[in-house]
Structure 1
Amino acid sequence: MDLTPQAAFALPDGYCVRPPRMEDAQVVLALLNACDVAECGEPDSDLEDFIFDWESADLVRDAWLVDAPDGSLAGYGLVSHWSGGFQADFYARPALQEIGLQGWLLEQCERRLREMLASLVDVPPQVSAFAAHVNQADRDALNKAGYAPKKYHFRMQIDMTERPPEPEWPDGCYLRAFHPGEDDEELYRFIQTAFDAPGRTPPLFEEWRDFMMRPDHFVPDLWFLLYSQGNLVGTAVCYDYGPYGWVRHLAVADDRRRQGIGSALLRHVFGEFYLRGKMRVALGVEASNENAYRLYERVGMRRVRQFDEYHKQIG
């Protein structure tokens, strides 16, 4: 018996679907950046980020490009799987937000996800998807497809007009840069412990290392490790994303919180990027993490974007 749900969405007449190829990367980037501009007024997507996803995907089965009748790219979707679960990514050209491409792409992601689940053991049948809070069409598509909002994420940002204040380090602490090949596992364990929470599945070490240390953005001098009496007590893991600096991880040991380590690390990061000519620094934070949110405000950051995380159980 075929238990696959019947299709609920169809492509409009004249629209065609095909798998992406690596030579499509620039046109897909243009689509993502057009979505960014519609949502926040400026491009915010990174070519290397989605190429990394493509390199670990079966593009023939895991991804879809939708071409409009005039041959231009109208939509893009990708389903990905890692140790933490499944994720569906979907994009529709801003001028075509209301013709149902999002629902069709989500349906393809779920169909492929069911195929993946058939060959996996002890994997929760849940998929996550994200929508910019200002993108009502994407949020409506997720709601219509049976997804429910579970988490909210804020983009925090500082735009510096002058050199930031020097950090004030707690007594006995010293800072150094990351040493590739020597600090990998220690830093991985430290970050996973710092972000441990009920229901969170940490990435495998190899997944984390391969993603975090991709040669396109990895600069060891921007990974800062703070020690006290030989123990790692804080870290700021950063990337240079061209127009701005990005703080991927800011973590402090549980027993050293509320001692000024987080704010000192951030001020050091701001200073480093300022010296590199990057006046803007940004990071992401879950809305439920009120302590972190208040810390970021205290050091001069402000909320500039919100992303809503949706979940769905796949039957």
Structure 2
Amino acid sequence: MTAYYQLLRRDLTGSLPAPQWPADTHLDHYRPALAPAIHAVLRMTQEQGGGRVANLEAWQQQFLSDAEFDPTLCLVASNAEGILGVAQCWTSAFIHHLSVHPCAQGQGLGRALLLHSFQVFKQRGEPYVDLKVLESNLRARQLYERAGMVFVLRDVVSEG
């Protein structure tokens, strides 16, 4: 069966809603000491449609070798229990991964990370931000659409 993704876009030129963070949530960004925990959340959620995540060593190396990987654009939400969510964004105004730990899903954390990502790109002077979502991932698509993202195109998910 052929799988499809949708490319969605959010215009950043107008006003943006402020993120509403769950209680006791702290915002940080990628740094090597957090890498294993960040990576674990990304890998845990990839089965839910979060895309492919390289093994830890290769993923960490991308922060040093790939211009798309900016540590300040890997947004991390945590509380006293640990890392709850990650929005890994690329320098090309693209949200590569938006992952929320299963224990924190349904509490508004994904929406807060998404809205915060919009603000970060707006502050960088970007006119819009894009992401891809599996067409079958209805929960994620609803989140993105409620946050003002609009359909741009549909394409076949490539294997490999």
What's the TM-score, normalizing by structure 2?
0.88
Residues 228-257 of structure 1, C-alpha deviation per residue, up to 9 Å, x if partnerless? 11411111011121xxx1111100010111
Deviation at 1:177, TM superposition (A): 1.6
Q: Which has the larger radius of gyration?
A: 1
Deviation at 1:215, TM superposition (A): 3.8
Quote the residue 1:188 is aligned against: 39
Are residues 182 and 170 of structure 1, via their aligned partners in 2, closer, same or farther at CA, if it must alter by over 3 Å? Answer: same
Instruction: Tell me which of 27, 34, 46 is aligned to 1:175.
Output: 27
* SS of structure 1 residue aligned to 2:3: strand
Structure 1 gap segments, 5+ residues each = 1-148
Deviation at 1:190, TM superposition (A): 1.2
Deviation at 1:220, TM superposition (A): 1.1
Q: Distance in 1 between the 2:17 and 2:158 partners?
A: 39
Query: After the TM superposition, which segments of 4 or more aligned residues of structure 1 sit over 6 Å from their partners?
Result: none
* SS of structure 2 residue aligned to 1:295: helix
* SS of structure 1 residue aligned to 2:133: strand
Structure 2 gap segments, 5+ residues each = none
* SS of structure 2 residue aligned to 1:150: coil
Mapping of residues 223-302 of structure 1, within 5 Å? 223-241=74-92, 245-302=93-150
Q: Does 1:207 align with 2:53?
A: no
Quote the residue 1:154 is aligned against: 6
Q: CA RMSD in A?
A: 2.0
The answer to whether the Cα contact below 8 Å between 1:226 and 1:234 also exists between their aligned partners in 2 is yes
The answer to whether the Cα contact below 8 Å between 2:73 and 2:90 also exists between their aligned partners in 1 is yes
* SS of structure 2 residue aligned to 1:233: strand
Q: Distance in 1 between the 2:140 and 2:150 partners?
A: 12
Q: Does 1:220 align with 2:71?
A: yes
**Identity over aligned residues, as a percent?**
27
Counterpart of 2:58, as a letter, is E
Residues 196-251 of structure 1, C-alpha deviation per residue, up to 9 Å, x if partnerless? 36xx986322233334653422221111110111411111011121xxx1111100
The answer to whether the Cα contact below 8 Å between 2:67 and 2:91 also exists between their aligned partners in 1 is no
Deviation at 1:275, TM superposition (A): 1.0
Mapping of residues 111-130 of structure 1, within 5 Å? none
Deviation at 1:152, TM superposition (A): 0.6
Are residues 213 and 251 of structure 1, via their aligned partners in 2, closer, same or farther at CA, if it must alter by over 3 Å? Answer: farther
The answer to whether the Cα contact below 8 Å between 2:45 and 2:100 also exists between their aligned partners in 1 is yes
Residues 157-205 of structure 1, C-alpha deviation per residue, up to 9 Å, x if partnerless? 11122231210001111111211x21222111111011236xx986322
Counterpart of 1:183, as a letter, is L
Deviation at 1:287, TM superposition (A): 0.6
Residues 76-112 of structure 1, C-alpha deviation per residue, up to 9 Å, x if partnerless? xxxxxxxxxxxxxxxxxxxxxxxxxxxxxxxxxxxxx
Are residues 183 and 273 of structure 1, via their aligned partners in 2, closer, same or farther at CA, if it must alter by over 3 Å? Answer: same
Are residues 310 and 253 of structure 1, via their aligned partners in 2, closer, same or farther at CA, if it must alter by over 3 Å? Answer: closer
